[in-house]
Amino acid sequence: MPQVANIAVSILFDGLAYAMFLFITSVGLSVTMGLMGFVNLAHGAFAMAGGYVVVTLTRSFGVEFIPSLVVASVVVGAVSVVFERWLYRRLYKSTDLEQVLLTIGLAFMAIATATYFYGPIPKSVPLPGWLQGDVNLGFRYFPSYRAFLIVLGTALIAVLWYVFERTNIGAKIRAAVDNRRMAESVGINVDRLFTLTFAIGSGLAALGGGLAIQLFGLSPSFAVLYLVLFLIVVAVGGLGSLKGTLLAALVLGVFDTAGKYLLADAGGFFVYAVTVAVLLIKPAGFYGRE
Amino acid sequence: MRTLGWLGLAALAFTVGGGAQAETIKIGVVLPFSGANADLGHQIDKAFDLYVKLHAKDIEPNKAEIIKRDEGPPTGAQAKTVATELVTNDKVQILTGFVFSPSAIALAPVVTQAKVPMIIANAGTAWITNLSPYIARLSFSMWHPAFPMGAYAYDKIGCKTAAMAYTDFPPGKDSTEAFKTGFEKAGGKVTEAVPMGSPVQVPDFTPFFQRIKDAKPDCMYVFIPSGAHAAGVMKAYGELGMRKGGVKLIGPMDLIPDNKLQDMGDAAIGTVVMGHYSVDLENPENKEFNKAWHDIYGKDSYPDFMSAAGWDTMHAIFDTIKKLNGKVSDGEKVIDAMKGWTSEGPRGTVMIDSATRDIVQDEHAMEVVRKPDGKLGVKILGTTKGVKDECKELKVGRCGS
């Protein structure tokens, strides 16, 4: 294969895998922000919590990696409901500043708690044999784990798209994002809808956290380290938009990988350049409402 | 009356004791205990504690009081703050520890002004020892492993071309510069140098390595801060199937820290590093050191090259305290007493060079192998005795000043 094509394939493949991680982790944040306008900076903490559940299950209880991922998303999704009912709902009508203070406080408490129980040293996770090494796709080899990320991400996107566009509950969510007061006046219980989407979003974040262990390693600082990236994905994609979040994750994932591959000296600069460019042209993001 | 009598006796004891009066020497230890690199701090801290525990009696009647502080992230700012506090508030007489070069670089002017000796247990940027006459280094310069690796890679491993990938901070540039100098002198060609972001967090190494894999050099020389980064390097290298693709992984010993090696799996086998320590080094002091370590920290905890340097660092400090009878308030005398210090440690024979205050030690080429007992270990391929910091010998860049 010619060198240029080979490079392009490398970048697209790694960028796509990275984009899937970004999408899975950020989509919940986008929908909850779009639905309630609630600024949840503790989103990264839910992702981190998911990661630690996976580490505990695989390392201490000998559970396989894939079932651990499922358990982690369910457990974290369920626990997030407690937080939502008990803390978040008190601040729905409050200003952005109060919401930010509450949630960033939660994030820092989560970091301290994780450090207390797991220590500051990054954790790794044992993978099943079929996710290690590389896989031959006919014309060249690809890392198996990243191929798995792409497949899983694509499947999730399909499911989410179906729920969002084709089911009753999806129609209600879209209606509430578009116009909350109107949705409420036709009898949609936006409060309950929010609890549901919050739980699903946090569960997906936990899944993302579990998937990220193999990419970056998992340490307590995960809760805020990658938060900026998630917020960028949400802002570039537009609040509450599934399509937007996906597009933003793809663009940022591929650009970041391409930047590191082609111009390592400029490092992580590309993500920010793309963000600034997009927001200059479309201040509400790709699919945000102006 | 009785109390008075006791007091009198005590007073008498003090007068008679006179010159041999027991001193408490305050030693400030600055190591990273938080963040992605906390692991490195713990590796040295455990060695310090072990040495103090086993050898406190060596400096009797004097006592050492260890005060520990968190070095923080590898940027130097926090290290400078806590070390300055140690000097001004806690009045420590000796500073030691320092995993990160930026910390040592930031602190050099402080120790010069305060005249407090700074005994470096890790930070390896070559020219650090030139920054202050109060610095002595017991660990290594980046040039110690990297420079001989250059010639070794060309002559023995068969690398005609090599790409270099490094974490973008002073020791990374230093290590790759040293390797390049040695490699090109021997006749090799460095095809590219890829910076891989800051040391603060472990990046996803895949895009950087993929680029190198596609460029197909014979060898890839990697420098990263040891610990969590090393595990990440091995993971990406294995995942991308680079060994199969014909790109050999080489580097300094930071790539295969002993305490991470067992987790690295088959991807690590065949990696060749240059370094001055491995738990597999055959010498009586190392056997004893490993035994004492396992006795206290358990059989699954391993010392690594940082721990070995930590052990020698505390050894040198204690020997100096003994030599000066506990009178260590004059920083200049402490450093003078350390010049020419030599000992048999876990690393073999080590010495402080009087001229540069830097370490002189043996360097070994080591290959990762699966040992008969199923564990990963290293095979010593060759040894160079008494290696000095070539950066200062050759007066390269800032090493010449």
Hey, where are the domains in chain B? 23-140+283-357, 143-275+362-400
- pLDDT for res A166: 94
Residues belonging to chain B: 401
Angstrom distance (rounded) from CA B299 to CA A13: 42
Angstrom distance (rounded) from CA B12 to CA B342: 39
In chain A, residues with a C-beta closer than 8 Å to the C-beta of B245 are 141
Find, in chain A, the residue whose alpha carbon is nearest to that of B39.
Answer: A121
How many Å lie between the alpha carbon of A5 and the closest alpha carbon of chain B?
Answer: 11
A195 near B CB under 8 A = no
Cβ neighbourhood burial of B191 (10 Å; 0-12, 13-18, 19+): middle
Beta-bridged to residue B364, according to DSSP, are B275, B383
Distance from chain centroid for Cα B48: 13
Query: Are B272 and B248 spatial neighbours (Cβ–Cβ below 8 Å)?
Result: yes
In chain B, residues with a C-beta closer than 8 Å to the C-beta of A118 are none
Select from B39, B197, B238 the Cβ nearest to the Cβ of A268.
Answer: B197
In this predicted model, what pLDDT tens digit does every residue of B200-218 receive, in sequence order? 777 889 989 999 998 999 9
In chain B, residues with a C-beta closer than 8 Å to the C-beta of A124 are 231, 235, 263
A112 near B CB under 8 A = no
B253 near A CB under 8 A = no
In chain B, residues with a C-beta closer than 8 Å to the C-beta of A262 are 211
- pLDDT for res B10: 52
How many Å lie between the alpha carbon of A67 and the closest alpha carbon of chain B?
Answer: 22
CB contact under 8 A, B194 and A144: no
- pLDDT for res B1: 45
Q: Do domains B23-140+283-357 and B143-275+362-400 have the same CATH topology?
A: yes
pTM of the model: 0.84
CB contact under 8 A, A120 and B206: no
Angstrom distance (rounded) from CA B149 to CA B177: 12
Comparing CA positions, the residue from B233, B262, B239, B295 lying closest to residue B54 is: B295
Query: Are B186 and B154 spatial neighbours (Cβ–Cβ below 8 Å)?
Result: yes
Angstrom distance (rounded) from CA A77 to CA A50: 9
Q: How many CB pairs under 8 A join A and B?
A: 88
In this predicted model, what pLDDT tens digit does every residue of A275-286 receive, in sequence order? 999 999 999 899
B222/A142: higher pLDDT: B222
When scoring B204, B209, B216, B226 by the number of chain A Cβ atoms within 10 A, the one with the most, hence best to mutate, is B204
- pLDDT for res B231: 85
How many Å lie between the alpha carbon of B215 and the closest alpha carbon of chain A?
Answer: 9
- pLDDT for res A178: 85
A179 near B CB under 8 A = no
- pLDDT for res B6: 55
How many Å lie between the alpha carbon of B280 and the closest alpha carbon of chain A?
Answer: 25
Find, in chain A, the residue whose alpha carbon is nearest to that of B206.
Answer: A14
The CATH number of B143-275+362-400 is 3.40.50.2300
- pLDDT for res B15: 46
The CATH number of B23-140+283-357 is 3.40.50.2300
In chain B, residues with a C-beta closer than 8 Å to the C-beta of A139 are none
Percent of chain A surpassing pLDDT 90: 60
Comparing CA positions, the residue from B97, B81, B134, B127 lying closest to residue B112 is: B134
- pLDDT for res B200: 79
- pLDDT for res B99: 96
- CA separation (Å) from A29 to A23, A26, A204, A231? 10, 5, 10, 8
User: Of A18-32, A90-104, A121-135, B161-175, where does mean pLDDT reach its minimum?
Assistant: A121-135
In chain B, residues with a C-beta closer than 8 Å to the C-beta of A145 are 239
ipTM: 0.77
CB contact under 8 A, B239 and A132: yes
In this predicted model, what pLDDT tens digit does every residue of B64-80 receive, in sequence order? 999 999 999 898 999 99
Angstrom distance (rounded) from CA A90 to CA B16: 74
CB contact under 8 A, A120 and B232: no
* Average pLDDT of chain A to the nearest whole number: 90
Spans in chain B with pLDDT lower than 50: 1, 12-13, 15-18
